[in-house]
Structure 1
């Protein structure tokens, strides 16, 4: 089936599911994108008959009838109760996968035509149900412009070239030529995984750091994904948390810093500086990061060990106090 016909069929299903009335063929012709291309009435009716037959073969319950006793022209609609899915129960991991897939179907291409059809229906006085069927919006998520071209290149087996910033916005971008193996979502970010031809190594690239356009290079089918490759494991090893470099013992005041206590391991109650609290043990991956966490809790925490972390927290407090003093002096 051609992409144009598939799009027209989706638009037809959206149109007929979004109304409780029976729509005559002429109104469908004026409403559903794709039918306006018919060169004549005869060509339209041939096209429409083929589409009806296709929907019925696919199991879509297409109904015919009249909205009222005064209608002389037969109309069409889709029986929602017979076509909609029943209640679906998903496990947490299954729900996560569905949510990620949903992020890929959140903008433009087919959505514009489908939404336009519903606007035409409302303008024509047709009652349109406000349901999920009326808000299906296929298209790639617009938040990452590189996502669509990279997915297309991966499916086609094309190598790609692009500009990529290794670090922050101030770092100059470098041109990369990559054989794409797949795109992975990890911790709220998208990453491209593949073989970097320039470095002759397996690398992953955060999509938000790709600047400019994606250019496919070489013949289609030239890139193949190695058997047994675990894309998520590659991303996790590259972009995941650093390994634990040590532990810290921290006193936390009673009833304070609940989030911090959840991160740590309870080592028992303790009184510090006359206040009741609990001692927790924290894994330290990056000393400066942990110091910032702790410094934000002020006098409700105290680092008992190691002394280097305690000194880092005191340094942050001193810096904050200096800024306050400077502001007051102004």
Structure 2
């Protein structure tokens, strides 16, 4: 993102935060520095639409509405940011979660992401959260982004098309692909870029590990935009033959005062005890139960899966394997 555009977005956020009224596009054009440089009305509205999309993709709650439904002179939609929705709430991480954050920072082995992870660590500490980034662990995995990750992510943010050489699965043949990238997502431990394939005239997913050579961005910036309502993760999962549209409801027992992350993901529906220890019954919606088995297993005796049976057996088998491995040492 250019410095001028970054400054314009910051000014736009400040303007929309500082008012309780909805500001129309025309009024925003007059008060936010950077928009006056637009060569025409059409150029301004294109610029403003891109900026609105950028803010929403950043997770900023941009509201649309009108100041009065009865005023004929106020019949144009305006925009504002509700401070209650924008401000960061109190950060409250359990000790095990804070340790997990520190471990996550150590996992990244990529220049593009290491800096971001360290920046997140600094922000948490500034908010008063004690994060142990030197916690000992038996397993020391590394998560490495492919070389194509940085250029593709930059092209997504710039709204530019890209060309790259791609090797299909099970073939040594390489072909040049021309793609309008909509986003880069991770699925089952692998990175994918999703977008509109100009050569095929259809949406496609490409695994980054099969991108060979350099990724070349070309054309004007701001011309590629992700279509409304497109779920990138669903597209990637569908391309692998799996449909995440129907979640599975899992019922788990959670010990009192433990597994805060599990509690946040679900809702408490009752009380029960397990082995004489009191706890809550929690229901969680899971799109990928098999992947969730590793996550739930990591909580050890603090979490007991009750339903579905296949998930309970999967977690039990993992715990049994860990116990046998520990006994063999």
**Which range, TM-score by smaller chain?**
0.3 to 0.5
Higher RCO (C-alpha under 8 Å, 6+ residues apart): 1
Larger Rg: 1
TM-score scaled to structure 1, two decimals?
0.43
TM-score scaled to structure 2, two decimals?
0.44
